[in-house]
Structure 1
């Protein structure tokens, strides 16, 4: 069986910066399940590169920022009313997670905290970076159902 759009796929992966520094990876023995082509877990262009692979096959894909997590947008760094943020997140580096309305999650980071003022960066942490994804297909599952395609559920 080969990976195709709409099929559930388990992958092991590493994400590297141009310097070769690893910035993300699947935990050992815990592959990431995704529905190929939904681009909820990984960038769309990476998921497209999985199409045609079989279990056990690997691929290395280098994506420029516009094909990965986008360019950094300075306007996405905004001052936020502290009352709009949970008290436990009133600290530098705190992650704020919001749903995007399509079943996906958007993570923002607190980048400045001052009395009466909090600044949040809504850019993806890897925005503006050229990234290399080293991916191995661990398992190929069935085609996702229509409900899974809209909910984002992607387990085996």
Structure 2
């Protein structure tokens, strides 16, 4: 039989074993659809050129640092459609602190390059907005600020604008590190 003094350590031992056995610590959470996920990432092309990152020191080392960019971890709702599908899918099932390298085909990223998305625009539509177009010029369209590129200027009245996403047709590589997972409202 255990004395009264012996009961307290025995109860504490049993409670601690129950808590340890039944608890899921933060490092054991895994990304599920609807969760608010926070990640750090580095994106690079197959040739090794880094095109984007959430980490300032990596951007500086790669020569792509921009002082107006907010170099903080990226947050998004898993499976909400707010991220490119391959990136979103890659985070599913990851745990806090886990890192993963993934290669995304164009279909998993920004789609295949479509030559039919090169559209003619009247030169006057641009010059009336004080834009003097030149080949490879990047323009930002409308309220969304969508990026388009001047593909060519075949004559004095027409400008061909490429409305493909700038990353269309490209294979993208990412290193993804999950920093936080907050359960979604299910």
| TM-score bracket relative to the smaller structure | 0.7 to 0.9
Aligned residue pair count? 140
Partner of 1:62: 103
TM-score by length of 1: 0.74
Q: 1:39 to 1:27 in 2, by over 3 A?
A: farther
Shift of 1:67: 1.8
Query: Where do 1:63-102 residues align within 5 Å?
Result: 63-82=104-123, 84=125, 87=129, 90-92=132-134, 93-97=137-141
Q: 1:57 to 1:105 in 2, by over 3 A?
A: farther
Shift of 1:43: 1.5
Asked if the contact 1:60–1:135 (Cα under 8 Å) also holds between the matched residues in 2, the reply is yes
Shift of 1:84: 4.8
- Secondary structure in 1 matching 2:44: strand
Question: Which of 140, 150, 154 in structure 1 is aligned with 2:181?
Answer: 140
Query: Where do 1:113-128 residues align within 5 Å?
Result: 115-128=156-169
Which consecutive residues of structure 1, in runs of 5 or more, have no partner in the other structure? 146-156
Distance in 1 between residues matched to 2:32 and 2:106, nearest whole Å = 24
Asked if the contact 1:89–1:95 (Cα under 8 Å) also holds between the matched residues in 2, the reply is no
TM-score by length of 2: 0.63
Which consecutive residues of structure 2, in runs of 5 or more, have no partner in the other structure? 1-28, 57-70
1:36-55: CA deviation from partner (whole Å, max 9, x where unpaired): 11232x31122111011122
Greater per-residue helix proportion:
2
Distance in 1 between residues matched to 2:31 and 2:145, nearest whole Å = 24
1:64-87: CA deviation from partner (whole Å, max 9, x where unpaired): 112221111001011123455572
Question: Which of 31, 36, 58 in structure 2 is aligned with 1:8?
Answer: 36
Distance in 2 between residues matched to 1:144 and 1:15, nearest whole Å = 30
Bigger drift between 104-113 and 24-33 goes to: 104-113
Q: Does 2:171 align with 1:130?
A: yes
Task: Say what the alpha-carbon RMSD is for the aligned residues.
Answer: 2.7
Q: 1:144 to 1:111 in 2, by over 3 A?
A: farther
- Secondary structure in 1 matching 2:147: strand
- Secondary structure in 1 matching 2:89: helix
